[in-house]
Structure 1
């Protein structure tokens, strides 16, 4: 790959890594082997609140994307390959009300992050269950993590369990601790605004 094309894919202040660093707060959750203890909820400003079991979730159509990811701690990993259910497809199950403008993403253990609802309708935003052709490793979010590649990676919540649709924005875990609300890596929105 030409140096100029790599440079065009790396936001300001970032360094490319071949590794996949592991960063999170709290303990890595453990689930039963059959995932009978896992579910995904869509609730709040929706027509039909939905709770999907693992089997129901996996029956939804999946897609693969290849994207670059960027962490607020200044690493970028290029050309990552993910497979999962498009976030927009899960929202269809619940029927989003017109007053819904934001989503508070809920994840284990007691983690949240916030996004504009419009972000979940992008083609490359997935509820990912595979990375590089294999099920996610526990430390990378097994069984499902949200993938939002156009934001810093803390917005791609690991161990995701639900979308709460809201008429107004509400800060999540890191946003309450001073991280930037929008998290756009191209604008270096790392800290300091909610």
Structure 2
């Protein structure tokens, strides 16, 4: 697979055994969804919350918006620096629904039943958001349009594309890749790629 121009590691910003690319590789399991009518799309927020909510696409776009610049790191070995994302902060979603103290984990639900898991403190980091725009342009379908998670401090499979649900949970619920040999947490600087990595 061609990843575009590769640069050597940038000191301090790039995890071990990653190569920096200027391209934006497309890697995913399953089909790319294409939405003909955005009025049929919604985002469900449920589980350990005071109020379960369903946001329409218009409602998501009308929530307070934020921009954040970060680096992303894929478990397959590429890193892309200086991405500028625009979207809704994960903390804003939590604020809208009133997360209960019993919530310890967040399960991101995407199209075709795909899920991934992370501790609630990781979801609520200032750097975590639900993005609709990358580098000034709406996400392409293959990159997660209309909404994808961006959890930049973890390997990028944790940044689920095509998010349709956010579940606040008492229990950890490993998702698709975690059940297929990937690490349950996925810290790129500790090279937590696979289930046997520390």
**What's the TM-score once normalised by structure 1's chain length?**
0.95
Structure 2 CA distance for partners of 1:14 and 1:177, relative to 1, 3 Å: same
Gaps of 5+ in 2: 1-6
- Kindly indicate whether residue 141 of structure 2 is the aligned counterpart of residue 159 of structure 1: no
The residue that corresponds to 2:114 in the other structure is: 111
Gaps of 5+ in 1: none
Matches of 2:75 and 2:176, distance apart in 1? 15
Matches of 2:162 and 2:115, distance apart in 1? 11
- Alignment partner for residue 121 of structure 1, among 124, 131, 149? 124
Structure 2 CA distance for partners of 1:5 and 1:13, relative to 1, 3 Å: closer
The 3-state SS of whatever aligns with 1:93 is helix
* Alpha-carbon distance, 1:159 to partner: 0.3
The 3-state SS of whatever aligns with 1:36 is helix
* Alpha-carbon distance, 1:43 to partner: 0.4
Matches of 2:21 and 2:117, distance apart in 1? 26
Matches of 2:75 and 2:32, distance apart in 1? 20
How do 1:79-158 residues align onto structure 2 when only pairs under 5 Å count? 79-158=82-161
Contact 1:29/1:109, CA 8 A, preserved across alignment? no
Matches of 1:37 and 1:188, distance apart in 2? 39
Contact 2:9/2:20, CA 8 A, preserved across alignment? no
**What's the TM-score once normalised by structure 2's chain length?**
0.93
* Alpha-carbon distance, 1:13 to partner: 0.9
Aligned length: 191
- Kindly indicate whether residue 18 of structure 2 is the aligned counterpart of residue 9 of structure 1: no
The 3-state SS of whatever aligns with 1:171 is coil
Contact 2:18/2:79, CA 8 A, preserved across alignment? yes
- Alignment partner for residue 29 of structure 1, among 25, 30, 33? 33
- Kindly indicate whether residue 190 of structure 2 is the aligned counterpart of residue 191 of structure 1: no
Matches of 1:132 and 1:109, distance apart in 2? 27
Which string of whole-angstrom CA distances, capped at 9 and with x for unpartnered residues, describes residues 50-88 of structure 1?
100011111101111110000000000011111000011
The 3-state SS of whatever aligns with 1:8 is coil
How do 1:43-82 residues align onto structure 2 when only pairs under 5 Å count? 43-82=46-85
